[in-house]
Structure 1
């Protein structure tokens, strides 16, 4: 599936929820950053994931801090990347896919996965800023 087709299906809520894995989250961030820049990507991706979770009766799974932190992490590695497509990008930086929790632990000294506040509001990193 092309990046634009993926982005379109996700935006319309027709992308199969069973395929919306961690890697798909990263891809969505990569596509939006590539097309719109990081700030607009944050706005678009957070809105679309919220909408997607509502459409598929999983609104309780949305985590605002984690979503923005993932976008910022993808952007951080994109700046260093030599890749011009997502598949090469994720191969270049497998840490995003396979060691994501450890990566987040470099930025947050508290559990953003279980924090009720992190689910609804963006919490700035307390250890290492993304910018």
Structure 2
């Protein structure tokens, strides 16, 4: 099933990187899409770097720099990465359909890995903090 995405993946990435992406696409699903697209093009560490630095720069451009949360952003890239390892020949629409928990309740998903006190700490907002409940590499071994 193809998702009704008004912008092609290429246009979405280009507009995001040029900081011309309309703000209605710079929402939670847009963040997931960005991470998913970067993971299709780059290895994990590069995708994490491009996603976190890109979202932070775009948030700064929009004047909402306080909304950027480094650990949440990076953790979601890790989770998306691990979930895509089990999927072959998927598109973003299929990924969203199979991962409605990331769309509708990402905080609960993150709660499997992080206690609230760690995830919502001042340090975690500024820098990546490792999970204190379940390591991301444990997730990978469950899928393999």
Relative to the length of structure 1, the TM-score reads: 0.93
Q: What is the match of residue 123 of structure 2?
A: 117
Kindly provide the CA deviation profile for residues 27-48 of structure 1, in whole angstroms up to 9, marking residues without a partner as x. 0000000011211101111111
Kindly provide the CA deviation profile for residues 73-122 of structure 1, in whole angstroms up to 9, marking residues without a partner as x. 11111011234210111112212111211110000012456321111111
Structure 1: give runs of 5+ residues left out of the alignment: none
Runs of 4+ in 1 over 6 A off after TM superposition: none
Structure 2: give runs of 5+ residues left out of the alignment: 1-6, 138-144
Q: What is the match of residue 106 of structure 1?
A: 112
- Bigger CA drift: 37-46 or 25-34? 37-46
Q: What is the match of residue 35 of structure 1?
A: 41
Compared with structure 1, are the counterparts of its residues 52 and 112 closer, same or farther at alpha carbon in structure 2 (3 Å cutoff)? Answer: farther
1:63, 1:113 within 8 Å by CA — same for their partners in 2? no
2:123 & 2:24 partners in 1: Cα distance?
27
1:61 & 1:101 partners in 2: Cα distance?
15
Larger radius of gyration: 2
- Bigger CA drift: 23-32 or 91-100? 91-100
Which secondary structure does the structure 1 equivalent of 2:136 belong to? coil
The structure 2 residue matched to 1:91, chosen from 81, 84, 97, is: 97
